[in-house]
A and B are shown apart, each in its own frame.
Chain A
Amino acid sequence: MKLLEYQAKEVLQSFGLEIPPGRVARTPEEAAAAAREIGPVAVKAQVPVGGRGKAGGIKLAQTPEDAAVAAGQIIGMEIKGFRVPLVYCEGALDIKQEIYLGFTVDRDARANILMLSARGGMDIEAVAQETPDAISRLYPNPWRGPLDFEIRRLVFAAGLGDLVGPLTKVVRLLYRAIPERDALTAEINPLVVTGDGRVVAGDAKLETDENAAFRHKELEERYSTVIEGDQYEVEAKKRGLTYVSLDGDIGVIGNGAGLCMGTLDLVQRAGGEAANFCDIGGGAKAEVVKNALQVILMNPKVKGVLINVFGGITRADEVARGVVEARAALKMKLPLVVRLSGTNEEEGKRILRENGIEPGDNGWEAAQKIVELTR
């Protein structure tokens, strides 16, 4: 789960991180009230995606009236597919220095990596490209976490030795998000050193592992309802489907992530554009096919659907029956091409033909067929 900035800050604050004074606002009036209490504020869109500043999602407000106007402009805005449900009004900081501190999973090393740089701020990715040495790195032992001397080494290597005391403390508390919240990525950028020498989080990002949700129910309950994503993705999640909305008009269902991604590639190669990615998993049971079709057909842009299923353990004839049943139950009228392969393939194709559904011989043919039918 990707937490919003104020949520990430709340979690990190509970570990002992210092954050600027801030208030969540759902209306312009609430934003004005926050500014009256705090003083000049930054009014920040709360969306679980980067790049909100460039999208106009952060505005500075000197007065409560300014804050109300800014909140009115930002709330309800759409940023990279997310409607902004609320803003976070945060007191301005007296910035002396901006530091980058973060960790993530390094897939290639199969380990967590902690990173620290004296050159924090918006351009950190460029810093990483051009002067990789400006970022110091640490792979902590996952059983015991980073040791104090390792953190000190990280801090000195980043050229931040004069802050070794406070930074060691911040690294330690940020790391707690791994064992205690199953975080996959956490980032404080910028980590601000203020004029009076305090170390304060200017921004914070936190992503937790959905696979570990079973041991963090409180996190899910407290935060997950606030984030409003794409309506079809929300609906699919309720039904336990792996679904991602895309921009095209051809609905795609496949079993297995690899096959499903491969199917998107084929649709594009055939000159079409997929409306979604929907992986129904290895089993491809009738009920799941029906759920997937239902979500896809909610999208009025969809002009036809391509189902690409390889029946391994699941037999192709069972899948065919499931598709026929689902189409009837949903009274689906749009073009439907089903490519079935694997065990009992011939029987599966016969069932489809008898019910007026065109079977494709292979993925590529099926992709061409659906693109043609939806032109």
Chain B
Amino acid sequence: MILLTPESKVIVQGITGREGTFHAERMKEMGTRLVGGVSPGKGGGQHLEVPLFNTVAEAVAATGADATGIFVPPPFAADAIMEAAEAGLSLIVCITEGIPIQDMIRVKSYLKEFPRARLLGPNCPGLITPGVGKIGIIPAQISSPGAVGLVSRSGTLTYEAMAALTKAGLGQSTVVGIGGDPVLGLSFSDVAELFEHDSQTTHLVLIGEIGGSDEERAAERLRGTRLKVAAFISGRTAPEGKRMGHAGAIVSGNRGTAKSKVEAFQAVGIPVAETTDQIVELLKA
């Protein structure tokens, strides 16, 4: 397992909101060590039988938390990420969708001061270590413990692949949704590398989609890996966006297309599934 282990102590930022409450409860239900919540102005209270704090720093001092799940609304989410990093948390999972991209660019620059802090997301389903715990919104009932690592850019496709793996008797070590935004925390290659060094993990599934070139770089990183890997790319038939201006093309060139991603995986001997059901066949082959 990676990132989220039985030792992880988790808080939720935005725990008193509707989404925060609902998902913090699901996290607790499956055994996640939820030690507190942050909700400015409600410090000193209790919610879901855990203590509430006004700031992340207070929560860390009182509980020894090392991980957080962020469920605060988009205008305030970037600040919440930076607060978590500054308070010394090492795993920051941001579920919030719709954060302004320039806010995230500033966050990424700020995080350079905190090399220990790993950001997952934003706009991601979070992660789950079956049998241990989860941070985020991945449904626990479709997971099962095992040796397959899964990393994905999409939410529902992740669930679909997990369900197929579970049905086929292939349990998962950890399932990680890195998120679909243009400016992200952990990349495919970062997560692939963590799985590479995790002794429990023997197989790896990567679910990518068009845009950016994280998949291409992950493929290169996985050259000669000890893991048995299968990939899937969605958006193969998506029409090219109605572009204006040349700046995007100057930066990305021909990278980022489904074709470029499929070829990158094939070039290092990683088979690419045509449908999500085929992923299981490729792992078992």
Chain A interface residues toward B at CB < 8 A: 2, 48-50, 80-81, 100, 102-108, 110-113, 115, 124-125, 128-129, 135, 141-143, 178-179, 182, 184-185, 187, 189, 205, 207, 209, 211-212, 214-215, 244, 246, 254-259, 261-262, 264-269, 274, 277, 282, 310, 312-313, 341-343, 362-364
Contact = CB atoms under 8 A, between A and B. Distances in A.
Contacts of B276: 262, 363
Interface stretch (B52-60, B64-72, B176-184): B176-184
A258 B105 contact: no
A256 B156 contact: yes
Contact of A343 (B106, B142, B246): B142
Given A212-B100, A268-B237, A341-B163, A125 B250 contact: yes
Interface in B242-259: 242-253
Interface stretch (B29-37, B197-205, B207-215): B207-215
Contacts of B154: 256-259, 262
A61 B247 CA distance: 30
Nearest to A365: B277
Which residue among B235, B243, B245, B252 has the maximum number of chain A CB atoms within 10 Å of its CB? B245
B249 A128 contact: yes
Contacts of B160: 259, 310, 341, 363
A107 B277 CA distance: 30
A232 to B, nearest CB: 15
A258 B152 contact: yes
A207 B236 contact: no
Nearest to B244: A50
B150 to A, nearest CB: 13
Nearest to A122: B246
Interface of B: 26, 74-75, 98-106, 108-110, 137-139, 141-142, 152-160, 163, 180, 182-184, 207, 209-214, 217, 234-239, 242-253, 274-277
B247 A310 contact: no
Contact of A142 (B105, B243, B251): B105
Contact of A108 (B163, B212, B234): B212
Contacts, number: 196
A48 B275 contact: no
24 contacts: A50-B245, A80-B242, A81-B242, A102-B246, A104-B251, A107-B183, A107-B213, A111-B109, A113-B251, A185-B247, A187-B247, A207-B245, A212-B102, A214-B74, A244-B239, A254-B156, A258-B180, A259-B155, A261-B210, A262-B154, A262-B234, A312-B139, A312-B159, A341-B160
B64 to A, nearest CB: 29
B49 to A, nearest CB: 21
Given A49-B244, A246-B239, A264-B238, A259 B157 contact: yes
A14 to B, nearest CB: 19
A270 to B, nearest CB: 11
Given A104-B248, A108-B214, A258-B157, 6 more contacts: A49-B243, A178-B102, A259-B156, A261-B210, A268-B237, A277-B238
A343 B152 CA distance: 20
B80 to A, nearest CB: 16
A361 to B, nearest CB: 10
Contacts of B156: 254-256, 258-259, 282, 310, 312
A274 B100 CA distance: 30
A342 B238 contact: no
Contact of B183 (A105, A141, A212): A105
Contacts of A310: 156, 159-160, 163
Which residue among A2, A112, A310, A362 has the maximum number of chain B CB atoms within 10 Å of its CB? A310
Given A102-B245, A207-B244, A258-B157, A265 B234 contact: yes
B157 A256 contact: yes
Given A105-B105, A110-B105, A125 B182 contact: no
Contact of A125 (B152, B236, B249): B249
A110 B102 contact: no
Contacts of B212: 107-108
Contacts of B209: 257-258, 261
